Amino acid sequence: MELQAQQPTEEGGSIQAAGSSNRWAPTPPQLRILKGLNYDKGFKYPTPEQIQEICLHLKQYGQIEDKNVFFWFQNLKARERQKLKEFRNVPVGGSLDLNFRSTSSTDDGRSIDLNFGSRVGYGVDGSIMEQRGEYHQEIETLPLFPMHGEDIFGNMKTTSEGGSGYGGGSRISLELSFNSYRDADMA
Amino acid sequence: MELQAQQPTEEGGSIQAAGSSNRWAPTPPQLRILKGLNYDKGFKYPTPEQIQEICLHLKQYGQIEDKNVFFWFQNLKARERQKLKEFRNVPVGGSLDLNFRSTSSTDDGRSIDLNFGSRVGYGVDGSIMEQRGEYHQEIETLPLFPMHGEDIFGNMKTTSEGGSGYGGGSRISLELSFNSYRDADMA
DNA sequence: AAACTATGAATGAATG
DNA sequence: CATTCATTCATAGTTT
């Protein structure tokens, strides 16, 4: 693509007022919660359902959409890997230059405050409730869902139904056309 | 403050100038045609024959391979579904733009007349197709006709264990040579 | 204000 | 087909 048509030079028809940036930016509380989730549980692979829940929860702290949460986790993982990858790129020659900085990212570190000072009395359906007056110094224990060990990736492809590929015509055995119907259903 | 030197600082624009990138990117004409196909008749499930045909025509506008077309449609579908899934909980704020991905960046999408005998609607899950195709402006008139030869698509994954038949000596040679992006080391 | 960095977003490719 | 990975574009913020 020579030049992407991503030039919001004239307002991409978003929510933002004309002139402002259209791009979402996490509010401090939102960022805190997101990081907390990640840190506390090594949460990295939220399912679409979980993304929705998280998003819903975060809406109290500012405008946010599912895609924002989705991208946030996506970028988190991507950049962690990217960093690690760069490390492996150490020159194996004779001269080593330790010219790289430490890995400390902009992460506010583990010293996050996590103090839910704001009371919200939120509780749409009891799924995502946290604010209850008692908070520790720990990351927000956002009980989004039960995470029983490997349940984080509870995305087991229930290979059910061997749906037929195309409705007709091609009979090429394309290995990429596996048909596995997955019913991501939980809770 | 991290070592994130990712900018050549010499391109000025760094818009991936002369095809230095390993990965394929549709040229404007190619993108226009692809979108047109999809828009014109809700074309979402191209058969391997059709993929090949499309690819053939798109080659006039730049380097492209079957797999690129294949992936393009694959991603198109995947992301539409993903979008719908995330939008199931439409925010009631009213001030949100449900714009996960604006598909209508340019006024492309129309024209191109596919005349293949095979049907293309497979509402696997009740998906509704936008059967617009009201008027055909004329841009390319890609003459996609029903299969003329035999199977085409070989195996995209050469390292598969299941050596599915396909000993076919098709006229088309799909050079699905997955470029080793592992290089990832550019000057 | 230019240069740089961090990061949201987009999309091609890959995996299961 | 659903998810995830990898790479890149674009830009809000910050530093100089």
| Strand, helix or coil for residue A160 | strand
User: d(Cα A77, Cα A45) in Å, to the nearest integer?
Assistant: 9
Range of the domain at A66: 23-86+109-152
Of residues B89 and A52, more confidence is placed in A52
- Count of Cβ atoms closer than 10 Å to residue A122 Cβ: 13
pLDDT digits (tens, 9 = 90+) for B91-117: 444 333 333 333 333 434 333 444 443
Total domains present in chain B:
1
Of residues A84 and A6, more confidence is placed in A84
A172 inside domain = no
Q: For B145-156, what is the mean pLDDT?
A: 39
Q: Which two tokens stand for residue A181?
A: 């119907």
pLDDT digits (tens, 9 = 90+) for A40-94: 667 888 998 889 999 999 999 999 999 999 999 999 999 999 888 766 655 554 4
B46 inside domain = yes
Residue identified by tokens 């994130």 is B4
Residue B70 has pLDDT above 80, yes or no: yes
B152 interfaces chain A, CB cutoff of 8 Å: yes
Contact A55, A127 (CB under 8 A): no
For chain A, the straight-line distance linking the first and the last C-alpha, in angstroms and rounded, comes to: 42
Sign, CA dihedral B183-B185-B186-B187, equals negative
A98 inside domain = no
A17 interfaces chain B, CB cutoff of 8 Å: no
| Strand, helix or coil for residue B147 | coil
User: d(Cα B69, Cα B65) in Å, to the nearest integer?
Assistant: 7
B35 inside domain = yes
* Contact (CB<8Å) A166/B47: yes
Which of chain A's residues have a Cβ under 8 Å away from the Cβ of B97?
13-15
The gap between A159 CA and D2 C1' (Å) is: 12
Q: What is the number of residues in chain B? A: 187
CA of B33, closest CA in chain A: separation in Å?
14
A8 inside domain = no
pLDDT of residue A73: 94
The gap between A72 CA and C13 C1' (Å) is: 20
A29 inside domain = yes
List C-alpha distances in Å: A16 to A9, A10, A13, B48: 13, 12, 8, 43
Residues 99-118 of B with CB under 8 A from A: 99-100, 102, 105-106, 118
A146 inside domain = yes
A159 interfaces chain B, CB cutoff of 8 Å: no
pLDDT of residue A34: 93
Of B40, B114, B30, the C-alpha closest to B72 is B30
List C-alpha distances in Å: A83 to A73, A87, A98, B97: 15, 7, 15, 33
B15, B26, B86 member nearest A66 (Cβ): B86
A67 inside domain = yes
